[in-house]
Amino acid sequence: MLNSFIRKLKLSFGDHEIRFRIFFLIGALALFRLLAAIPIPGVNRTALASFFANNQFFGLLNIFSGGGLSQLSIVMLGVGPYITASIIMQLGTMVFPQVKQAYFEEGEAGRAKFIEWSRLLTIPIAVLQAVGFLFLLEGQNVISHLGSVALIANIALVTAGSLLLMWLGELVTEFGIGNGVSLIILAGILARVPSGISETLFASTAANIPAYLAFILLALAMIYAVVVVSDAERSIPIAYARAVRGAALSQGAATYLPIRLLQAGVIPIIFALSLLLLPQMALSMLGALHISFATSAALWYTAFLSNPWKYGTIYFLLVVLFTYFYTAVTFEPKRVAENLQKTGAFVPGVRPGRETEEYIGKVVNRVTLPGACFLGLLAVAPSIIQGLTGITTLVLGGTALLIAVQVALDLAQKIDAQVSLREY
């Protein structure tokens, strides 16, 4: 196994195209980290550190910004607006026939049109998020009071930073290896690890050794669970009817339909985060207009988000609900059953058509429940681990871990596929 790894490593850097793709990826991620270190004007560093230390919820949002939010950099929104736009477009396949036709029926041309619509939708979403965050942070005294010109300049700067990252991610997807948007998020997650470890070691004492050992065991258990669950699937056997071609009778083939345990990936977590963030952003903008009830309501909601047990319970329930919702949107048993019937395939022991649709729907619902609960536990894992170990400087984020494992596995598969292509 080691020899095979070394051979593939030599082939990766020996081939000109693979080497170019790897170095392009490294250069793009280095540029992203450079942009993430450039702050917007008027940031109070002491208030910023205190704000993130007392609010785990914004620590979760920092994951999807690639670490730029904790620095209030020019790319503080990260690729979040683009991800949100893509999700809205996928939900649009249920409402708008043109979007559904482009996504499912028009092939590569339709997918290109779908991506173009997602890019255009990213612009207003980025503007709204920039306005909401700037008003919120100004209300928390993290940013000094902004005049009209400075506010417009910061909104334009933050919006342009998000669009720049979207473009950079698409370049990585085209000229690098793997999904560029996911790799940008992964780079932000990994960039936070050294600082977290150093803070933990600096604050450690001999009395904390049992807590750190427990933390390491929990971390290893979570990594193992994420690796196993990421590849877990329920296989539905599929058979093909025998076909008569001339004087020959061809034997029907047998295969299976995979139903993944994490069918929705991390999308439900993004949904839940967006829904929890929306009231605070809206109240912050109303508070900036000097509406009295909005200011008191914003303070109450900020206190609610600062309580890990209260918001953790709501967060868990929202993730479970959105997992079922998103799975129902993206996986249609009726369309799957129709495609099987058109190709002469069937589930052994189940009649084609409506009975096959109902059978696949039942399997999906049963598989979704443990997957939804697992996602919910991952989402609230930081609060649980902090409560069990008492460690606040280095909290293992289940969401970050899930993203990191899935992106790393996908990147390894993409590199292996490039190497295998050169071997043959």
pLDDT tens digit sequence for 15-71 = 778 888 888 988 998 998 888 888 888 787 777 777 776 665 666 667 666 667 777
Pairing relation of β-strands 233-240 and 248-250?
Answer: unpaired
C-alpha span between 79 and 83 (Å, rounded):
6
Residue 334, amino acid:
K
Backbone angles phi, psi at 32, to 5 degrees: -60, -45
C-alpha span between 262 and 377 (Å, rounded):
13
Neighbouring residues of 177: CB distance < 8 A, sequence distance ≥ 6: 18, 21, 22, 25, 411, 414, 415, 418
Q: How do residues 386-395 score in pLDDT, each as one tens digit?
A: 666 555 555 5
Pick the CATH number of 1-203 from 3.40.50.300, 1.10.3370.10, 2.60.120.380, 1.20.1740.10: 1.10.3370.10
Q: Where in the chain is the domain with CATH 1.10.3370.10?
A: 1-203, 205-406
CA distances from 140 to 62, 167, 201, 369 (A): 17, 32, 30, 39
User: Does the pLDDT at position 82 exceed 60?
Assistant: yes
Among the listed ranges 189-198, 242-251, 337-346, 392-401, which one has the minimum average pLDDT value? 242-251
Q: Within the chain, how many helices (H) and strands (E) appear?
A: 16, 5
Residues 140-157 as b or e (16 or more Cβ within 10 Å = b): bebbeebeeebbeebbeb
Q: What is the mean pLDDT of the chain?
A: 78
Eight-state DSSP code of residue 88: H
Other Cβ atoms less than 10 A from the Cβ of 223: the count is: 14
Q: How do residues 93-119 score in pLDDT, each as one tens digit?
A: 777 777 777 666 666 777 788 888 889
290-297 contacts: CB < 8 A, separation 24 or more? none
Q: What is the pTM of this model?
A: 0.74
- Helix (H) / strand (E) element for 228: namely helix 209-231
User: Which sign does the torsion angle of CA 130, 48, 401, 317 carry?
Assistant: negative
At residue 163, the pLDDT reads 92
Contact 142, 47 (CB under 8 A): yes
The topology (CATH level 3) of 205-406 is Preprotein translocase SecY subunit (1.10.3370)
Residues 412-424 as b or e (16 or more Cβ within 10 Å = b): eeebeebbeeeee
Count of residues for the chain? 424
User: Does the pLDDT at position 247 exceed 60?
Assistant: no
User: Does the pLDDT at position 81 exceed 80?
Assistant: yes
| Angle at CA of residue 314, ends 313 and 316, nearest 5° | 65
Q: How do residues 325-354 score in pLDDT, each as one tens digit?
A: 888 877 888 888 888 888 888 888 888 888
Q: How do residues 255-292 score in pLDDT, each as one tens digit?
A: 888 888 888 777 787 778 777 777 776 776 676 666 77
User: Does the pLDDT at position 189 exceed 90?
Assistant: no
CA 356, distance to chain mean position in Å, is 32
Q: How do residues 116-162 score in pLDDT, each as one tens digit?
A: 888 999 999 999 888 888 887 777 778 877 778 888 888 899 999 99
User: Which sign does the torsion angle of CA 175, 177, 402, 65 carry?
Assistant: negative
Share of the chain above pLDDT 70, in %: 78
Closest CA to 74 of 31, 121, 122, 41: 41
Residue 249's pLDDT band (boundaries 50, 70, 90)? very low
